[in-house]
Chains A and B, each alone.
Chain A
C-alpha cells in the first residue's frame, strides 16, 4: 500500500514510506514536520503552500509526495541562511508585507521564483507574477512594495539562491 519516496528537502536527503495519495503539502507538514508551508484552500487557488521544486515555484497541494521522487524541494524554513534572512524575507519585514502571516510563506516562495525569472520587475509584473497567491490582510500594497524592495537589494541578481536542476514532475 505505502510507497517509498526519496527526495531532498531544504538540502537534507529524506526517505519515507508514504501513501500514494498523500499530497506533497501534507508530506512536508505531517511527515517532514515542516509546518511553515500552509494550507488555505482545497482547490489550488490560494498559494499558501507554494514551495520551490528545483527552480520552479510549485503549489505543493497540486502534486503527490511520490511525484517528488528525487526532487530538490525548498520550503520557507530553508530560505534563510542561519540568522541571515533572504532579502525577500527581510523586505517583507521592512515593508510590513504581512499581517496574520498565514499566506506569507507562500508569497515569499512565489516572490523568490518571480525574482529569479525577472530580477527587475515592474509593479504590474509583480502583481501578475503573484496572482496565484491570495492574501486577505494586506490588500497586496505592501507585498508588491516588498518584492520591489527585494529586487533592489538583490541588485538585479539573475540567479535564484537555490540553483539546482529541476527534476520534479510538478504540475
Chain B
C-alpha cells in the first residue's frame, strides 16, 4: 500500500476558487429556456377547512401561465408521497397519509393549497394574492401537552388522541433495582425548543419535463438526490430511469434537505402539467414556516445515584412534537432515548418515546437529530446529581465513565460503543480551560456578588449511519450503506463518483485525499463527482448523520482497492511475474526483490484499454463498491464553557469555549476544525438564542423572519479554543469517525451547565433553552423572591 501522504494534511479546499469568486452553481443560478416561476398559496391558518378556492382573477393576472389546485395534480401525482420510515420506532400507532397539497383541510400554517406559475417571479407572487381561498378556521392545537389531553382537537381522524407513536424501549422493571438502592433521586423536565435549520441557501427546485422522451429532470438543493429520484419517480408514475436529479452546489442543509417536500413533488408535477420548465426558490419566511423544524421535545428524566456519585439508574420519557404529519425521518429522533446514557455506565435505563401530532409544520432531523438531545439530558442529569450530593462535576464524570479497557462496550440498549478514552479528552480540556484557576476565579467573583459559571459536556455520539443489519429494520428495509465508483482513464487520471453529496463539507478535497493515498496517484489527477443521479453507481444514499467519511469514504477506499487488484493482475502479466510477487507502492506495481521491474499506475491504466490482456480479463480499469459498515462509529469529546451572568439583566457573557474532540483518524484537520466551529455555534445558538415561536392562541408563527429568529452574528460567538485526541475507530480500515454533527451534539449542555453553575448560589438548578435574557431575568427574580420570603432557595 501507498505510504500515507495526504491523509492528515491541511489541504486547502479545491471547491473554494469558484465559491470565493462568485462562480458557484446553486440551484437559483440555473435557467432553462421557457422557464416559468412558481409561487405557492399557503394556508394562513394552522387548522382550517378549505371550502372553496377561486382562481379566476389570479389566472387572468399579467404573466400568469397557470394556477393549479389539488384537483389538478391528481392526474399527475398518482403514486404515494411523503414516505415515513419506521426508523428507531419499530411500531407506529398511526402514520397518516400525506399529500403534497391540501384539498379540503389544512393542518399547519404554510401548507400549500394552490400553485401559481407565471413568466416572472414577481408576477407569480402578485397572483398569489389574487387567489381567493374560503377557509373555515377550525380549532387548532399547537402544544404537545395540550394535544394529548382528552378533548383536544384531533389533527387526524385516525389518531383521536393525537398519538403518532408510543413505545417503551425498556420498562421500569429495568430500573427498579437501581432506584431501590439509590441514596438520591433527582427529577427534571427538560425542554428542547423547536429550531429552524436555516441553511443560508433556502430550498429550491427547478424541474423540466420532456413529454416526447417522457423524461423529467430536476435541479434542486438536496442532501440526497438519489432518494429524491426514488420518491418523485414513484409519485409521478415514471420509471426511475427517466428521472434525473441534479443537486449542484448546496448552500447548507443541516438535515433539512434530506426528506422530500411538498414543493419537490408539486414543482415537478407542475412542469409536467404546464409543459414549461418551472423554478421555485423558497423565501426565508417560507423556509422558517415550511422547512421541517428540528427538536421540539420535552424530556422527563429521573436519575438514581449513590451518595458517592455512582450513577445507578435513569428513566427517560421523550414527548416529541411530530407536527401535522410523520415526516420522512422524524422517527429517527427517538434515538435520543437509546443514547440517553451518554458516556457513563448505568445499571439500568428505562426509556419511552411518545410522538404527538400538533397543527404545526412537521419536525425532522436537524444537525445531530436526537443525539444533541441525548447529550443534553445526560449531561444535565449528571450535573443535577453532582449538585445534589455536592460533588465536583469533573469528579462525578470520571467516576462513571466507560473506561478504555471496557471497549467494545455494549451499552444499555445493546449498541456497541466501538472505542473511546473519555478521561483523556477531559484531561486535555481541563488543562486548556485552566479549570482549577477558573474555580478559584469563580470563588473570588462570588464574594463580589458576581456570577461566573463553568459548564462541562463530556459527550459521545453514534454516527456513520449505518450498518445495514441495524438500519434495515429501522428504515423499512433501506440499507444506509454507501456507493462509490472509481474510473481510471487511459492516461491514468481518475474520476470518482460517490453516492454521498457535499453541502459545504469539502468532500471534493477530503475524498481526493483518500484516493490519492489509496491509489498512490497525484491529488490533482483525481476528480470527485457527486450530486447527479445520471452519473456513477445506480444508487447513492446521501449525506447526513455524519456518515460521508465513515461510510462513503470507505466505499471509495474499497473501490480503489478493487482497481488496484485488477491493476496488479495486469501488471503481473505485463511484467511476466507471478501475481503474488507484484506489490503496489507509491503509484507503482513492482516485482518484489526487483525494484527495476516495475510498471507505473498510468502505464497499467493505458494497457488496460489496449490489446494483449491476460486470458479472461476484459478491458478497462474501473470498479464499483458498496460499503456496508460492520458497526456505527462513536466520536466523543469534552467541552468546557465559561459564562458570566448579569443578574440585573439576565444577559449571558460567553467568555470562553474549549472543545477537545476525538473523531478518530483525521483526513484533513482544517475541515474537522471548520465542522466543529460551525457545529458548536449552532448548539450555542440553541442554548442562548434560537426558538421557533408560535402564538399559543392563534397558532400563528411569530418568528417568521431573520429579525425574529435569532441566528447569531459574529458578535455573539467567541473565539472557540479547539484541541483534539485521536482514538482510531476499530470499525473501519481508515480508523475514521464522523465530525459533522459533533459540535452540535456537544455544546448546548456545556452552555446550560455553565449558566446553572453560575446561578447556583441563587438556588437555580435548571434553565431551559434558549437561555434568553428575559427568561433568565425572570428566573433570577423568582429565585431571589423565594429566597427573600425566607424559603429554601439559597444554597452555598
Among A39, A46, A96, A101, point to the contact of B671 (Cβ < 8 A): A96
Interface residues of B in 178-205 (CB under 8 A from A): 198-202
Chain A, 45-96, CB within 8 A of any chain B CB: 45-46, 48, 75-77, 79-80, 85, 89, 92-94, 96
Could you tell me the distance in whole angstroms from the C-beta of B505 to the nearest C-beta in chain A?
Answer: 7
A40 to B203, alpha carbons, bound, how many Å? 10
Which residue of chain B lies nearest to A109 when distances are taken between CB atoms in the complex?
A: B22
Identify the closest chain B residue to A127 (Cβ). Answer: B714
Q: Tell me the nearest residue of chain A to B668, going by C-beta.
A: A96
List 30 A-B residue pairs with CB atoms under 8 Å apart, sorted by A's residue number: A35-B28, A37-B22, A38-B201, A38-B251, A39-B28, A40-B202, A42-B705, A46-B200, A80-B21, A93-B12, A93-B20, A98-B19, A99-B505, A99-B506, A99-B674, A100-B199, A100-B252, A102-B252, A103-B200, A105-B22, A132-B713, A133-B714, A136-B252, A136-B254, A139-B678, A139-B681, A139-B717, A139-B743, A141-B719, A142-B674
Interface residue from B19, B22, B677, B682 paired with A35 (Cβ < 8 Å): B22
A123 to B718, CA, bound (A): 10
**Interchain nearest-CB distance for A115 vs B (Å):** 15
Smallest CB separation, B669 vs chain A (Å): 10
- Assuming A43-B707, A136-B252, A136-B254, what are 20 further A-B pairs, CB within 8 angstroms? A36-B24, A38-B201, A40-B284, A45-B705, A77-B21, A89-B20, A96-B13, A98-B16, A99-B675, A99-B678, A100-B200, A102-B26, A103-B200, A123-B719, A133-B714, A134-B713, A135-B200, A137-B674, A139-B743, A142-B677
- Bound complex: CA A135 to CA B201 (Å): 10
Q: Which residues of B contact A79 (CB under 8 A)?
A: 21-22
Residues of B within 8 A of A (CB-CB), count: 55
Minimum CB–CB distance from B20 to chain A (whole Å) comes to 4
The residue among A92, A132, A141 with the most chain B CB atoms within 10 A of its own CB is A141
B residues whose Cβ falls under 8 Å from a Cβ of A: 12-13, 15-17, 19-24, 26, 28-29, 122, 198-202, 249-252, 254, 281, 283-285, 503-506, 670-671, 673-675, 677-682, 705-707, 711, 713-715, 717, 719-720, 743
- Partner among A29, A41, A127 whose Cβ is within 8 Å of the Cβ of B706: A41
How far is A46 from B23 in the complex, measured between Cα atoms in Å?
A: 20
Please report whether the interface of chain A is mostly helix, strand, loop or mixed according to DSSP. Answer: loop
Q: Which residues of the other chain, B, contact A104 by a CB distance below 8 angstroms? A: 19-20
The complex places the Cα of A101 from the Cα of B782 at a distance, in Å, of 45
Distance (whole angstroms) from the CB of A151 to the closest CB of chain B = 15
A34 at the interface (CB under 8 A from B): yes
Q: How far is the CB of B304 from chain A (nearest CB, A)?
A: 37
Which chain A residue lies CB-closest to B202?
Answer: A40
Residues of A within 8 A of B670 (CB): 96
Q: Most B CB atoms within 10 A — which of A101, A103, A133?
A: A101
Instruction: Kindly identify which residue among A75, A100, A132, A140 contacts B503, using a CB–CB cutoff of 8 Å.
Output: A100
Majority SS of interface residues in chain B? loop
Task: List the B residue with the shortest CB-CB distance to A129.
Answer: B714
Contact between chains at B20 and A130 (CB < 8 Å):
no
Determine the distance from Cα of A141 to Cα of B722 in the docked complex, in whole angstroms.
11
Min distance, Cβ A73 to any Cβ of chain B, angstroms: 13
CB-defined contacts of A105 to chain B, threshold 8 Å = 20, 22
Residues of B within 8 A of A135 (CB): 200, 714
Closest to B721 in A: A141
Number of A-B residue pairs, CB cutoff 8 Å, is: 174
Most chain B beta-carbon neighbours within 10 Å: one of A43, A123, A130: A43
Q: How far is the CB of A109 from chain B (nearest CB, A)?
A: 10
Do residues B20 and A85 form an inter-chain contact, with CB atoms below 8 A? yes
CB pair B15–A128 under 8 Å, yes or no, is no
Query: Within the assembled complex, what's the spacing in Å between the Cα atoms of A23 and B202?
Result: 19
Q: Which residue of B lies closest to A92 (CB)?
A: B20
Which of chain B's residues has its CB closest to A88's CB? B20
B673 pairs with A96, CB closer than 8 A: yes
In contact, B252 and A89 (Cβ under 8 angstroms):
no
Whether B717 pairs with A76 at a CB distance below 8 angstroms is no
CB closest chain-B residue, reference A78: B22
Known: A21-B122, A96-B13, A100-B250. A138 touches B285 (CB 8 A): no
Minimal beta-carbon separation of A90 from chain B (angstroms): 8
A168, CB-defined interface residue at 8 Å: no
Does A112 sit within 8 A of B, measured CB to CB? no
Given contacts A36-B22, A127-B714, are A102 and B200 in contact (CB under 8 A)? yes
Assess whether B714 is in contact with A130, with CB atoms less than 8 Å apart. yes
Asked whether, in the complex, the Cβ of A75 is within 8 Å of the Cβ of B251, the reply is: no
Complex-state Cα separation, A42 to B504, whole angstroms: 23
Distance (whole angstroms) from the CB of B296 to the closest CB of chain A: 19
Across-interface contacts of B21 in A (CB, < 8 A): 36, 76-77, 79-80, 85, 89
> Are A101 and B249 in contact, CB atoms less than 8 angstroms apart?
yes
C-alpha gap A46/B199 in the complex (Å): 11
Interface check A143, CB cutoff 8 A = yes
Q: Is the CB of B201 within 8 A of A100?
A: yes
Instruction: Tell me the complex Cα distance, A40–B286, Å.
Output: 12
Residues of chain A contacted by B681 (CB below 8 angstroms): 138-140
Q: How far is the CB of B56 from chain A (nearest CB, A)?
A: 24
Residues of A within 8 A of B24 (CB): 36, 101-102
Instruction: Point out the residues of chain B lying under 8 angstroms from A131, CB to CB.
Output: 713-715
Query: Given the complex of chains A and B, what is the CA–CA distance between A33 and B22 in angstroms?
Result: 11
Q: Does A16 contact B (CB under 8 A)?
A: no
Query: What is the distance, in angstroms, from A16's C-beta to the closest C-beta of chain B?
Result: 15
- Report chain A residues within 8 Å CB of B23: 36, 77
Q: Is the CB of B674 within 8 A of A92?
A: no
Tell me, in angstroms, the Cα distance from A19 to B119 when the chains sit together: 14
Please indicate the chain A residues that have their CB under 8 angstroms from the CB of B675 in the complex: 99
Q: Which B residues lie within 8 Å of A127 (CB)?
A: 713-715
5 A-B pairs closest in CB distance = A36-B22, A102-B251, A100-B504, A101-B19, A139-B681
| Known interface pairs A45-B707, A93-B13, A141-B720; A75-B714 also in contact (CB < 8 Å) | no
CA distance A75 to B679 in the complex (A): 30
A12 to chain B, nearest CB (A): 15
